[in-house]
Chains A and B, each alone.
Chain A
Amino acid sequence: MNFFATVGRFTLEALAALGRLAIFAANSVRHVLQPPFFLKNIGQQMMVIGYYSLPVVGLTALFTGAALAQQIYVGSERFNAESTMAAVVVIAIVRELGPVLGGLMVAGRVSSAMAAEIGTMRVTEQIDALVTLSTDPYKYLVVPRLLAGLVTLPLLVIVANTIGVFGGFLVATQRLGFNPGNYLVATMNFLETTDIVSSLVKAGVFGVIISLMGCYHGYHSSGGAQGVGRATTNAVVSAFILILLANLIITITVFQS
């Protein structure tokens, strides 16, 4: 009896949250298309999301590419190592690891910061103050972050992919004694347009997820410092899960056979 009540309550709450999120997303999209546009805010957010994330995303990609190369070398000694290794590194990085790890790292940095900032604005009535000054909080706060996420993440992922492949290249040539020229030729041969396009599409989707989760949880936070803390955690956790889920869906859709 108690068990059913718990399940029922949980289901209702989950549905309510889903509804709120849908309304929030619909409102945001509606406001993307109508003026005024706060261009300065978009620029600011692109800096916060993109530029300041470069070090952490770059390092993640570098280490991952390098470790990947080492693993593949160990695992594929029996085959034609040189071309296999270049191929697996570039495909794994561009198709999956670049966008996913890049997205997760940025989500950890940015979703939390957005939720904390907007959440604080909510609990200190700054969002109410925006409304009284005839400025729509969706337009002023949410839309610039969503657009910045959408545009910036693909750029970041291009950087991440490049550095990731370079990490593999470093291990292959410096540690394992592969021929640099052959390695690069093999890399270019195996990389296809679909890989790059899917990588960028993923990045764009992840960018929107990151900003949406940060804004949504911040916007709906309540209950002082504790509430803002909760919003921050929820923003990161939900961004992580949605990124991994979206990644799976895109991968299944694009790479079918």
Chain B
Amino acid sequence: MTQTPKIELAGVKKRFGSKVVLDGVDLTVLKGESLVVIGGSGTGKSVLLKCILGLLRPESGMIRIDGKDVLRQSHKERKAQMAKFGMLFQGAALFDSLPVWENVSFGLMKARGMKRNEAKEIAIEKLQRVGLAADVANLHPDELSGGMKKRVGLARAIATEPDIIFFDEPTTGLDPIMADVINDLIVECVRDLGVTTVTITHDMASARKIADQVAMLYQGKIIWQGAKEQVDNSNNAYVDQFIHGRADGPIKMAVRSA
């Protein structure tokens, strides 16, 4: 019996003006699976996540969540769908008018009507999960370091206990030890809570730790997808160059061709 994929993309195209960013992306993520998307800077990884979330609308292609075509959904169905998602933005995107704990429990209070004191307790617990002490809860985002912001964003993404969580570069800007704490947290979400995750990262150590599947985005297409054990013998020159971080290879950086 084949199971309905949690997320399914076919031929997704997205451009900004004349600049084509996604040029027919096909991708499948099964329930409870952790997919890591790798790819060069500016290849459209963040745009890909935003298309799946419905923050950007692709020009063509199909996106299915739990078998439902999200591009042809009504406003209301779309909203119900959104409740399944948690998202850590690349720049954290914390609400700078609210203290940290209200950021973390925003979804619980605003969308689910949870009482403030209960929400605050949960916020503090989630902050501890990402290695932040309770006294951070009352600070404002502009009083945090870059890595702390990232972790608050992470706490916010997991606070509503969503079905599907997207992490856009969760370990960028963290020290190696904290990065590993975050890796463990993501693994825990997937193993223990059955969450489906898509993680974007440039950090191969992190990718190896959290991935079930790895997909590589290059020139608007997924050029390779496979289990993480296969990354090292993918027989794909692009993947090889990327995971070993070599300047020489089929991927030409713009600085070199100029």
Taking chain A's interface residues, is the majority helix, strand, or loop, or is none over half, making it mixed?
helix
User: Which of A36, A124, A132, A140 is close to B82, meaning CB atoms less than 8 Å apart?
Assistant: A132
Q: Are B110 and A124 in contact (CB under 8 A)?
A: no
Name the contact of B95 in the complex, choosing from A36, A126, A131 (C-beta under 8 A): A126
Chain A residues near B250 (CB, 8 Å)? none
Chain B minimum-CB-distance residue to A140: B110
Q: Scan residues 120-162 of chain A and give those whose CB is less than 8 A from a CB of chain B.
A: 120-121, 124-126, 128-135, 140
**Of A120, A128, A135, A140, which is within 8 A of B89 by CB?**
A128
Contact in complex: B93, A133 (CB < 8 Å): no
A125-B89, A129-B95 known; A135 and B111 CB under 8 Å? yes
Q: Whose C-beta in chain A lies nearest to the C-beta of B50?
A: A128
* Chain B residues closer than 8 Å to A134, beta-carbon distance: 79, 82-83, 107, 110-111
B86 is an interface residue with CB less than 8 A from chain A: yes
Number of interface residues of A (CB under 8 A): 16
> In the assembled complex, how far is the CB of residue A16 from the closest CB belonging to chain B, in whole angstroms?
14
Closest residue to B157 on the A side, CB-wise?
A132
| Residues of chain B lying within 8 A (CB to CB) of residue A121 | 95
On whether the beta carbons of A129 and B83 are closer than 8 Å, the reply is no
Contact A125 B91 (CB under 8 A): yes
Complex Cα distance, B50 from A125, in Å, reads: 11
**Residues in A100-128 with C-beta less than 8 Å from chain B:** 117, 120-121, 124-126, 128
**Is B232 positioned at the interface, with any CB of A under 8 Å from its CB?**
no
* Bitwise interface map of B from 65 to 92 toward A, beta carbon under 8 Å scored 1, else 0: 0000000000000010011011101010
- Listed A/B pairs (21) with beta-carbon separation below 8 Å: A117-B97, A121-B95, A124-B93, A124-B96, A126-B93, A129-B87, A129-B93, A129-B95, A129-B156, A131-B53, A131-B55, A132-B53, A132-B85, A133-B107, A133-B110, A133-B156, A134-B111, A135-B107, A135-B110, A135-B111, A140-B110
Minimal Cβ-Cβ distance residue in B for A139: B110
Q: Separation in Å of the A47 CB from the closest CB of chain B?
A: 14
Determine the distance from Cα of A121 to Cα of B89 in the docked complex, in whole angstroms: 13
Q: Number of B residues whose C-beta is below 8 Å from A?
A: 23
The answer, yes or no, to whether B94 is at the interface (CB within 8 Å) is yes
Q: How far apart sit A124 and B95, CA to CA, in the bound complex (Å)?
A: 9
Task: Check if B160 is an interface residue, CB within 8 A of chain A.
Answer: yes
Contact assessment for A126 and B83 in the assembled complex, using a CB-CB cutoff below 8 Å? no
- How many Å lie between the Cα of A120 and that of B91 in the bound state? 13
Which residues of chain B come closer than 8 Å to A120, judged between CB atoms? 96
Q: Which 5 A-B pairs have the closest CB atoms?
A: A134-B111, A125-B93, A133-B107, A129-B93, A132-B87
**Which residues of A have CB within 8 Å of B167?**
none
Are A131 and B89 neighbours in the complex by a CB distance under 8 Å? no
Bound: A157/B203 CA distance, A: 59
CA A121 – CA B96 in complex, angstroms? 9
By the criterion CB–CB under 8 Å, are A126 and B106 in contact?
no
Give residues of chain B (214-234) contacting chain A, Cβ–Cβ below 8 Å: none
Docked-complex contact A126 and B111, CB < 8 angstroms: no
Bound Cα distance from A133 to B53, whole angstroms: 11
CA distance A126 to B111 in the complex (A): 16
Question: Is there an interface contact between A124 and B91, defined as CB atoms closer than 8 Å?
Answer: yes
Q: How far is the CB of A144 from chain B (nearest CB, A)?
A: 13
Contact A133 B106 (CB under 8 A): yes
Say whether B93 contacts A131, CB under 8 Å. no
Tell me the bound Cα distance from A124 to B92 in angstroms.
9
Closest to B159 in A: A133
The 0/1 profile, CB within 8 Å of B marked 1, for residues 167-194 of chain A is 0000000000000000000000000000
Which residue on B lies nearest to A132, using beta carbons?
B87
* A126:B96 contact, CB within 8 angstroms: yes
> What chain A residues lie within 8 Å of B83 (beta carbons)?
134
Tell me the bound Cα distance from A140 to B95 in angstroms. 12
Q: In the complex, what distance in Å separates the CA atom of A70 from the CA atom of B115? A: 59
Which residues between 103 and 121 of chain B lie within 8 Å of chain A, taking CB atoms? 106-107, 110-111
Chain B residues near A132 (CB, 8 Å)? Answer: 53, 55, 82, 85-87
B87 cross-chain contacts in A, Cβ below 8 A = 129, 132
| List of A residues within 8 angstroms of B53 by Cβ | 128, 131-132
A36 to B160, CA, bound (A): 19
**A125→B149 CA distance, assembly (Å):** 14
